[in-house]
Amino acid sequence: MGNDTRIDDLLDRWEEAREKGQSISVEALCQDCPELQEVLQGKIRELAWVNAEMATRVPTETGERTTVKIPKILGRYELEQLIGQGGFGQVWKAHDPKLERVVAIKILRPERQGSVFQVANFLAESKKVAKLSSHPNIVSVYDVGEDKGFCFMVSELIDGSNLARIIKSHRISIDETLRIVAKVAEALHHGHENGIIHRDIKPHNILMDRFREPYVTDFGIAVTEAEIESDSTYVAGTPAYMAPEQAEPNASPLDRRCDIYSLGVVLYELLVGSPPYAGHTISDIRTAYRRTRPQPPKECGNSNFGLFAWGDMIVSV
């Protein structure tokens, strides 16, 4: 149970809902895995200590709670602004005075620093991303370190936004959509050729810079093909973007095709405005897989296809 990656996925969903001002119960989160309710409730109690300034209250030896704040300097890096957070880590904009450049620093959340398993996962993510940093559409990793009790990873700072925010703000043309998806596909292929499967491709994990160039990020639940061969029983990912075999622990073994499926969902969402299957839990998605079929993009009222005479060609590919 301690190594069950589903807990991290559930915590991320709880955190995303909290950031949006929404309330979601532990029972709803664990609808598909009730055996995790007690553990998840405990983890949520821990995460509830995090305040808007990322100060975290953690237990002391006497049982009292003290406030732990992220230092202004980690290693040689000067932290400037919190730019993102999730159930697993925080991302800060920072300055590297040695190389005189702005960077992004992902820090393992304070309440998780004491977990040997969480620290090992964090370092494993750093190594996986560093292995892929040679590709122009994968966020580059510059450094990894530990200072003042905090584990951190230093990477390229993308000046822009993620694709999820862009989709919400305005529609993207079909030409731009195809260009973005093609570049992300090339980045994923690079990862696959190096034996790494992302497992969580979605608009939130595709960053767009101010020149509209896409970058794949967040390899927090990525796995190597060797890891899958040794343990393919756990479920991880974001339900609406998960391939059927990714949502079914007892289905066929997971491989690189799950990333291709997820990218197909992203393509559908870019064309139509929403994923093909609606649902917030793995159970919802499983039911949708079995009982419904996605509406063809050209039949969706808000689809981009109505603007292009050659749209049917895309559908038939």
Q: Do residues 267 and 275 make contact, with C-beta atoms less than 8 angstroms apart? A: no
Residue identified by tokens 């300055």 is 95
- Secondary structure E strands in the chain: 56-59, 65-68, 73-74, 77-85, 89-96, 101-108, 141-147, 150-156, 160-162, 196-197, 206-209, 214-216, 223-224
CA–CA dist 132, 108 (Å, integer): 21
CA–CA dist 44, 26 (Å, integer): 9
CA distances to 8, 45, 86, 283 from 38, rounded to whole Å, are 14, 11, 21, 19
Q: Do residues 166 and 233 make contact, with C-beta atoms less than 8 angstroms apart? A: no
**102 CB neighbour count, 10 Å cutoff:** 12
Catalytic residue among 8, 96, 200, 259: 200
Q: Do residues 132 and 259 make contact, with C-beta atoms less than 8 angstroms apart? A: no
* 143 is an active site residue: no
Catalytic residues: 200
